Amino acid sequence: MDYRQVSDDFAVAGQITAEDIQAIKAAGFKSVICNRPDEEQPGQPPHGGIQAAAEAAGLAFAYIPVVSGQITQRNVVDMADALDELDGPVFAYCRSGARSTNLYMMAKQSRG
């Protein structure tokens, strides 16, 4: 599983599976955010199974689905709130990592 460090306490990746959770935990992450809506693409693992695996491994999980190319102000507020509340470092994923990166930057900018 490849991921990109966006900041010291935030990284992004494309779609993950429940089987990736142990590697995410081993890399030192404390929380996972899913920014990909369920059923965006056929065969995509639903967030519920990944959430269950994350929580079983002792990681916090937040589901903030964002439609590709359509980030809303509500998405930004939800992401900013999650970043304030979740223990870091945080690992976020979507289809490619771009949506999670953009949402992170907008959330950080919204909070100054």
38 pLDDT band, cuts 50/70/90, is very high
Residues 23 and 39: their CA atoms lie apart, in Å, by 24
44 pLDDT band, cuts 50/70/90, is very high
Alpha-carbon separation of residue 100 from 56, 57, 66, 87 (angstroms): 23, 22, 9, 17
Residues 68 and 53: their CA atoms lie apart, in Å, by 25
Q: What mean pLDDT is predicted for residues 64-78?
A: 95
Q: Would you list the DSSP string of 16-76?
A: --GGGHHHHHHTT--EEEE-S-TTSSTTPPPHHHHHHHHHHTT-EEEE----TT---HHHH
What are the tens digits of pLDDT across the range 8-36? 999 999 999 999 999 999 999 999 999 99
Its domain, for residue 12, covers 4-110
pTM of the predicted model as reported, rounded to 2 decimal places: 0.96
Q: Report how many domains make up the chain.
A: 1
Q: What mean pLDDT is predicted for residues 36-55?
A: 96
Q: What mean pLDDT is predicted for residues 51-74?
A: 96
Residues 73 and 88: their CA atoms lie apart, in Å, by 23
Chain-wide mean pLDDT for the chain?
96
Q: What mean pLDDT is predicted for residues 77-101?
A: 97
Question: Percent of the chain at pLDDT above 70?
Answer: 100
Domain CATH number, residue 34: 3.90.190.10
Q: What mean pLDDT is predicted for residues 39-55?
A: 96
